[in-house]
Structure 1
Amino acid sequence: MSTPTTSFGREAAAAIARSKNEPAWLVAWREEAGDLAVRLELPRPEKMPLTRWTLDQYGTHRPGQQVSSVSDLPAVITALLPEQHTGALIVQHNSSVVYTGLSDELKAQGVVLTSMEEAVRTHEELLRKHFMTAYARDEHKLSAVHAALWNGGVFLYVPRNVEIEQPIQALLFVDDAEATFMPHILVIAESNSSVSFVEQVASSLGETSATLLHNSAVEVFAKAGATVRYAAVHHMDASAIDIAYRRAVLDNDSRIEWIVGDLHNGNTLTDTKSLLKGHGSTSDSKIISVGTKNQRMSLTTQAVHIGRSSESDMVTRAVMKEEATAIINGITKIEKGATKANGQQTEKVLMLSPKARGDANPILLIDEDDVKAGHAASVGQVNAEQVYYLMSRGVSRQDAERLIIHGFLDPVVSEIPLEGLREQLHRILERKLG
């Protein structure tokens, strides 16, 4: 059933929930979020006026066609899947999940992989305990809209002491510019478990005058001693706006690794935040982005230290071409009582055009004395000496610059835990870097 949501508020949010036969508590929950969306203001990222963006095109609920095997998926989707099928794959097409595959071995260990909409029915208690507690629906208008309209998405549960060797894969794909496309990803890793999760967001929108709003959210909960490696690659058409809020909540001795390729072709707002609540918890964030044409991008990475002896490291690298603009914020916050915490961050921007702009803003907020914290930031052009060195050995200027740029981005690209996706990432970079 298609339910228009352009005129948005409490009633539209409830209509979506009822059209999908959702339980009464979720209908009411979406209604409340619809109220908040009307009243709350947009977030105000540094030097990025979101009021100029088209953020009120919420689309129409348009579910994809359910299939029972990967071979039944549309060719445009299968072309995006890495050749390695690990036995754990979930695919969203436009407004709904259309395929879920999980090996019998993982099922026997108690692993759960399903859509969020299915998890509402089958794992309600677990979902309600965690859902939108790290990323609250009342943070701002965008979070309220997401809470009211989220669809499809991924629910991943890894039981205590289960270590999953191969990555869990998720492909979120849209080819209808007027579809509501707001997936929510919830990962719960119980104590002493280990998992790698790979998220790919892609589109094939063709020629369109419509603006697609991808308003997504990720919540990761790593319980005591758990390790979660979360890799994300976003590459949608320029007619889409990419909004991605990512949150991780870490218990004692747990670890999150963020590996993010923000390679979208249109305007982008991302916020990746680790809450190091547990003692001895660690967060390692590596993020790359490439801006082209007249893109506008706001990329924020945060680490909030609450637990003692917690450690965070954040690395962001961006390449800016033509007239693209990127505002890159790194925020390390060490709360009172987080003794022996260690927070480090580095932001680097490589400028390939005199009209491009990149701002790197390292921010340290320290409320405790017995800690370590540091930052480094740089904005500059391709190193002329490196280009000259390579040219002196027979490499053309264009190839020399390409090699230097790929080397600049490789610390993140090489960490993608899936060979097929790494190769695809290289192809995306080649297209964007031209």
Structure 2
Amino acid sequence: MTTQTTLPVNSDTLRAWAQQKNEPAWLTELRLKALELAGQLELPQFEKTKIDRWDLSQYGAYQAEEALASLDEAPAAIADLIKPEENGSLIIQRNSGIVYTHLSADLAAKGVIFTDLETAAREHEELVKPYLHTVVKSEESSIAALHTALWNGGVFLYVPKNVEIEAPLQAVFLTDDAGAAFAPHILIVADTNSSVTYVDNYVSGELSSPVFHNGAVEVYAKAGAKVRYATVHQLNGSTTDISFRRAVTDNDASIEWIVGEMNNGNTASNTMTVLKGNGSTSDSKIIAVGSGAQKINYTTQAQHFGRDSASQMITRAVMREEASAIINGITKIEKGATKADGQQTEKVLMLSPKSRGDANPILLIDEDDVTAGHAASVGQVNQEQIYYLMSRGITREEAERLIIYGFLAPVVSEIPLPALQEQLQRLVERKLGQ
């Protein structure tokens, strides 16, 4: 069955937005071609999830935003995520536009570029154009094509050769105006033997009507580069979230994904690494808590081309009330990727008789000389464990909470960012109503 895509804008409107932002001609041309393509393509396929039943039409319109004079003016919804006194490298996007950008003088002196993607396209074409939309491609689906056509604000991070950055760079994305388009695009290029940690948060304020977040991330780790990408999505129930995250690793490069899926609305995400280079590695850690009547689909993928490449994927999800989750892990080892090693684990814990979970580990192996394995489990809270803890004087609610934290701990404890560990702990407590 073909699903017809209704375009949220026409080419004249899109061209007018591009002119308003003083966009380079090559980027506007990319957008217009993608918009035309979007009307011809179908929705992306997420295993066992019918996203055509979701509200995917609420794109809103591009609206310019006023810049913040200082971080003291930051909206209350994101105030606890930023610390003005630390004066770190930070980008804030509110709805359709960037309202704050700061790069430390030390990093700027080393040649690091950390700015909004719209500015980078104008001022650093030679670094942006070769990579933009080359791993999350327009022709994949109508959603991907519409993202290419309509993305706004976003982040561009470039780390020069041999530059190692210790302190994390941060971005915060806020949607609090239902009439404004909200579709950030993140592009990270880590040059040879560089090292960087990037952290972002997606947050909703008070929304008068539904919002559709159509987001994309592209990461390129060149030879020997090390990239750690941490992201937390805590959008409210009025927001539908579809996000594609992709990384490409060259020889001996590495990507570490740390993903906290804490939304309250319907969510589908695909986090994928293409291990192109020999000796490259990918490590994905994903935790999720579903509540209410959420429909959730999380897919983690590793595609091995390089020899001696290694991937590790760990996903742990807790479902409460009537939430349902489809958790997919896909390891693909291509012909010629000798000595590759692909491991994955997916586990779902259900707290309610009405909650649902489905874990689907998939191994696709086209090479003989490799190592690969998977583990998956779906189950309810162990009543024997609860009774044991209650026999020691602990209440049922506290016993369930301890079991849940114990279930998530193997992933959370491996996150090498203490501040992110604490944030995820708070969000888990909030989603569990404790």
Answer yes or no: same fold by TM over 0.5. yes
1:13 alignment partner in structure 2: 14
State the shift of 1:232 in Å: 0.5
Letter in 2 for 1:388: Y
Conserved 8 A contact 1:331-1:365: yes
SS of equivalent to 1:285: strand
* Match runs of 1:13-412 below 5 Å: 13-81=14-82, 85=86, 87-206=88-207, 208=208, 210-412=209-411
Q: CA deviation at 1:204?
A: 0.8
CA contact (8 A) 1:291 1:325 kept: yes
Deviation, 1:424, is 2.9
CA contact (8 A) 1:17 1:30 kept: no
Shift in Å at residue 9 of structure 1?
Answer: 3.8
> TM-score normalised to the size of structure 2?
0.95
Matched residue of 1:56: which SS? coil
CA contact (8 A) 1:10 1:33 kept: no
1:240-293 deviation per Cα after TM superposition (whole angstroms, max 9, x unaligned): 011110000000001100010011000001000000000000000010111111
Contact 1:260 1:412 in 2 (8 A): no
Q: Which amino acid aligns with 1:213?
A: F
Deviating more after overlay: 405-414 vs 191-200: 405-414
| Contact 1:88/1:168, CA 8 A, preserved across alignment | yes
Which amino acid in structure 2 is aligned with residue 15 of structure 1?
Answer: A
- Between the aligned residues of both structures, percent identity stands at 60
Cα distance, 1:46–1:84 mapped onto 2, change above 3 Å: farther
Q: CA deviation at 1:83?
A: 7.4
Greater alpha carbon shift after TM alignment, 26-35 vs 85-94:
85-94
Hey, what's the Cα distance between the residues in 2 that align with 1:410 and 1:50? 31
SS at match of 1:125: helix
Contact 1:86 1:167 in 2 (8 A): no
**Cα separation, 2, equivalents of 1:163 and 1:84:** 23
- Looking at structure 2, the residues matched to 147 and 413 of structure 1 have their Cα atoms a distance apart, in angstroms, of 33
Distance 1:105 1:161, change over 3 A: same
State how many pairs are aligned: 428
Pick which of 367-376 and 71-80 moved more.
Answer: 71-80
Amino acid at match of 2:136: Y
- In 2, Cα distance between equivalents of 1:353 and 1:83: 41
Structure 1 position 234, deviation (Å): 0.3
Cα distance in 2 between the residues matched to 1:271 and 1:244? 6
SS of corresponding position for 2:428: helix
1:417–1:198: structure 2 CA closer, same or farther, 3 Å change rule?
farther
Gaps of 5+ in 2: 1-5
Whether the 8 Å contact between 2:77 and 2:203 is mirrored in structure 1 is: no
Q: Distance in 1 between matches of 2:243 and 2:411?
A: 18
Q: Cα gap change, 1:421/1:84 in structure 2, threshold over 3 Å: closer, same or farther?
A: farther
Q: After superposition, give the CA deviation of every residue in 1:286-317 in whole Å (9 maximum; x if it has no partner).
A: 10111111100110000000000000010011
| Deviates most, 302-311 or 197-206 | 197-206
CA distance in 2, matches of 1:121, 1:361: 43
Q: Give the letter aligned to residue 346 of structure 1.
A: T
Q: Which ranges of structure 1 fall in alignment gaps of 5 or more residues? A: none
Give, in whole Å, the separation in 1 of the partners of 2:224 and 2:43: 36
CA–CA distance in structure 1, aligned partners of residues 372 and 421 of structure 2:
32
Separation in 1, partners of 2:376, 2:177: 39
Q: Offset at 1:60?
A: 1.1
SS of the aligned residue for 1:129 comes to coil
Secondary structure (helix, strand or coil) at the match of 1:39 reads coil
Is the 8 Å Cα contact of residues 83 and 420 (structure 1) preserved in structure 2?
Answer: no
Shift in Å, 1:71: 2.2
Query: In 1, Cα distance between the equivalents of 2:378 and 2:84?
Result: 37
Q: Is the CA contact (8 Å cut-off) linking 1:82 and 1:420 kept in structure 2? A: no
Question: Which range is displaced more, 63-72 or 104-113?
Answer: 63-72
Q: Supply the distance in 1 between the matched residues of 2:262 and 2:272 (Cα, whole angstroms).
A: 19
- Give the Å deviation of 1:73: 2.4
Match for 1:233: what amino acid? Answer: V
- CA distances 1:42-81 after superposition (whole Å, capped 9, x unpaired): 0121111111111122101123221243223233332332
1:23 CA drift (Å)? 1.5
When the two chains are superposed, the root-mean-square deviation of aligned CA atoms in Å is 1.6
CA deviations 1:129-165 (Å, max 9, x no partner) are 1101111111100000000000000000111111111
Q: In the aligned structure 1, how far is the partner of 2:418 from the partner of 2:318? A: 23
CA 1:417 to 1:385, structure 2 compared with 1: closer, same or farther past 3 Å?
same
Say whether the 8 Å CA contact 1:317–1:348 is kept in structure 2.
Answer: yes
Judge conservation of contact 1:314–1:344 (CA < 8 Å) in 2.
Answer: yes
Aligned partners of 2:223 and 2:287: how far apart in 1? Answer: 29
